[in-house]
Copies of this chain bind each other. A is one copy, B any other.
Amino acid sequence: MKLASLMHGRDGRLVVVSKDLTRATDAFPVVPTLQAALDDWDRYAPRLADLAESLEHGSLPSFRFHEHDCASPLPRAGQWLDASAYVNHVELVRKARSAEMPDSFWTDPLMYQGGSDVTLAPREAVRARSEEHGIDFEAEIAVVTDDVPMGVNPDAALRHIRLVMLVNDVSLRNLTAKELAKGFGFVQSKPSSAFSPVAVTPDELGEAWRGGKLHLPVLTQLNGAPFGRPDAGVDMTFDFGTLIAHAARTRRLSAGTIIGSGTVSNRDADGGPGRPIAEGGLGYACIAEQRMVEIIRTGAPVTPFLRFGDSFRIEMKDAEGRSIFGAIEQEALPHAE
């Protein structure tokens, strides 16, 4: 089933969305918000699935679904933990600044605690106080869990995944180095993230969802031009079960926890850094990676970070070319002080 939260108050208004994203029906008769549904998933999910089935059959009242009306599926989420599971991406970052990457990064996941008290709607502008902050998008896969016990193992963790969605983990690249040097993670350099209009249950993904990974390309566009299409199932060093188990090693996780994959990143066919779309490569899921490849190849970055007025789009399509989650489509704009 596919779920979305229409903009309404702080927690949105839950709707069930048709598989083709054209129609929706109110979930209110079952449960008013997605957080409430996750709080008691075993009780509500079957009833939401009934609504979804009736919606497909056209046997209950429905209305036109507009992605523009959507908030994040969880407009304020209880927890947002983001990993860096495509270690290829991390290695490139290090290589671009001539730093060694510890071997442990291949076996011990990188993960940070992000803020999710505020999320951006999928069509909401990314507001920044200055272009000099180095505004970037990061296209990622994210999963939403129910309650996860402390010490869960990776296999059992997979069974706690209730929903899958896309995320734009907005990053202010020119603030990152200073924060990372302090060791305390990201506060200022990772402002509010945006999520796809629609979250889907893993069964909606069919064969593309296997081994705790989503085996489909993440499509990004920058100012209307194709920017990347790396496959989220390739070069993902840690699957979502491993990531959830990492997060829950010393504490339990509450229903509505969102775990991100980190920027999707594929190596080139020869094992080296991926090439840009313009050169026939798979491109990238963030501007920073394109810049790193430019640095490695030519000594200096060429592609600028986002300027005010620049826009980007993040989407994923199924084997038939239909949008699965709807699109994150945002413009970078100045914050009005």
List residues of A whose CB falls within 8 A of some B CB: 10, 39, 76, 78-79, 81, 84, 105, 108, 110-118, 127-129, 133, 150-151, 172, 175, 180-189, 191-192, 246-247, 249-254, 256-257, 335, 337
Contacts and interface: CB of A to CB of B under 8 A. Distances in A.
Contact of A253 (B118, B150, B257): B118
Contacts of A133: 250
A261 to B, nearest CB: 15
Contacts of A246: 187-188
A212 B253 CA distance: 33
A185 B78 contact: no
B117 A257 contact: yes
13 contacts: A76-B254, A105-B182, A108-B182, A111-B184, A113-B114, A113-B185, A115-B251, A118-B254, A172-B250, A180-B183, A187-B246, A187-B247, A188-B246
Given A39-B10, A250-B128, A250-B175, A186 B118 contact: no
A79 B114 CA distance: 9
A117 B191 contact: no
Contact of A129 (B150, B186, B188): B150
User: Which one of A118, A127, A151 has the highest number of Cβ atoms from chain B below 10 Å of its Cβ?
Assistant: A118
Nearest to A147: B118
A251 B151 CA distance: 33
B186 A185 contact: yes
Nearest to A187: B111
Smallest CB-CB A-B distances: 10 pairs: A185-B185, A117-B254, A79-B117, A78-B117, A191-B251, A112-B184, A180-B183, A113-B113, A191-B250, A188-B250
Contacts of A185: 112-113, 183-186
